[in-house]
Amino acid sequence: MPSDVDTITVIAFTIAAVSVGLAFFFLTRSRALSRSVDAARQRIGGNPPKRSWHRKGALDEALQRLERSSSQAQRERSQLAGALQATSLGIIITDDHGVVTFANQAADQYLGARQGEPIAEESLGDVIERAILKRIAISTEIERPTPVPRILDVSAVPLDFGVESVGAVTYIDDITDQRSVDVIRRDFISNVSHELRTPLSALAALSDTVADNLDDAETATRLASRLAAEASRLSVLVDNILELSQAEALASRDEAVEASVLTTSVADFMEQMAAERGIELVVEPAPPSARVSGDERQLRSMLLNLVDNALKFSTPSGDGAAPRVWLRTSLGENTVVFTVQDEGIGIPKSHVDRIFERFYRVDRDRGTATSGAGLGLSIARHVARNHGGDVVVTSKPGEGTLFSVTLPLWKE
């Protein structure tokens, strides 16, 4: 009997010991798990639970907050990436070894390397390397030796993480067109100043001469006539400059313009000038269906300048026959073509490509009253291009010149 009691006691003691061990084990695991849960919640962020049995709920809440934050961060990254790709400015991000980690579409044309490779463009790579090594922002201009040289404005800014350099971001802007506009503006101002100085000087000199010859009626009358001519020339020059400025700045209006209205108006205006110069102006009837879209005033100005140019350089021949200038209108495939043809002196081949430049004159030795200021053809081309067309010229020295203006046909 005692033996049975001892056995039961041993078994009970063993069971108790195992239960205590298991309880201690699970308690230890529970505390370790609780510590892990708390540590995870703290790293994720969130409020601590008020009760120990609320740990799971606190962890779930923190995980949900982390998921929402991650989704928001992903949306923001997508927005940023979209914005970087949409900009016309070239943007390149490199690591601290100059290896490309990001390049938007605008920057692809400047890279011979792909992402994960060093910059292949030597001059561009030098700028980025200096920015990373010196840890200062560097701005400079680079000329790309392409078939049509391009000028790039490059700015490289180092990227730091604390005291550690992590690379650079580089901004690339193609300023070639801007530089061209600056050059054109400077040339335009210089040419305007020169062209205005000549008639103004003549007016001043003639005024003094008239004042000195008031007693001589014949001389005073002759000088007064020259004064009027110079004043008229100055007025025409100013009008041409204003007209050119408007042609460059204003887009055409979308209105149907009858070609016949334009040619008839030009004929009425230029007929007397042609007669005074001994030139026969032939204006052929325009097809009734020939209509273009645009601004009637600008289009009329375009044709007037082309016809005026033809009249200026058509001189009567020695046999007494009057030289002719033609203004024709024809229909092409979805186009209307205006042509102005003369039998004048023609244009040397070396000058053909430049005659549409502002203030350009083929023969500057000719009298200024004949050659004008060199703005008429520039105005004509600007107007044609404003209306979606263009002007081309063919010429043979000594035989004459043909200007063709092609414009889109008006469509209902």
| Tens of pLDDT, residues 360-378 | 766 654 444 445 567 778 8
Among residues 127, 157, 174, the one where a domain terminates is: 174
Among residues 196, 229, 249, the one where a domain terminates is: 249
Nearest residue to 356 (alpha-carbon basis) of 399, 408, 329, 395: 395
Cross-strand pairs, 229: none
Q: Does residue 290 sit in the same domain as residue 343?
A: yes
Across the chain, mean pLDDT equals 76
Half-sphere exposure of 213 (CA within 13 A, CB side): 15
Q: Does residue 229 sit in the same domain as residue 287?
A: no
Instruction: Please name the residue that has the structure tokens 């490779």.
Output: 117
pTM of the model: 0.52
Number of independent structural domains in the chain: 4
Q: Does residue 46 sit in the same domain as residue 100?
A: no
Residue type for position 202:
A
d(CA 23, CA 143): 79
d(CA 404, CA 395): 11
Q: Does residue 13 sit in the same domain as residue 74?
A: yes
Q: Which domain holds residue 99?
A: 87-174
Per-residue pLDDT band at 40 (split at 50, 70, 90)? low
Q: Does residue 257 sit in the same domain as residue 331?
A: yes
Nearest residue to 110 (alpha-carbon basis) of 80, 82, 145: 145
Q: Does residue 398 sit in the same domain as residue 306?
A: yes
Mean pLDDT of 319-335: 86
Give me the CATH number covering residue 279: 3.30.565.10
Q: Does residue 6 sit in the same domain as residue 114?
A: no
For 181-218, the pLDDT digits (tens) are 777 667 666 666 666 666 777 777 777 777 777 777 77
Q: Does residue 260 sit in the same domain as residue 405?
A: yes
What are the φ and ψ backbone dihedral angles of 397, each rounded to 5 degrees? -55, 130
What are the φ and ψ backbone dihedral angles of 92, each rounded to 5 degrees? -125, 130
Q: With 60 as the cut, is the pLDDT of residue 85 above it?
A: yes
Q: Does residue 326 sit in the same domain as residue 292?
A: yes
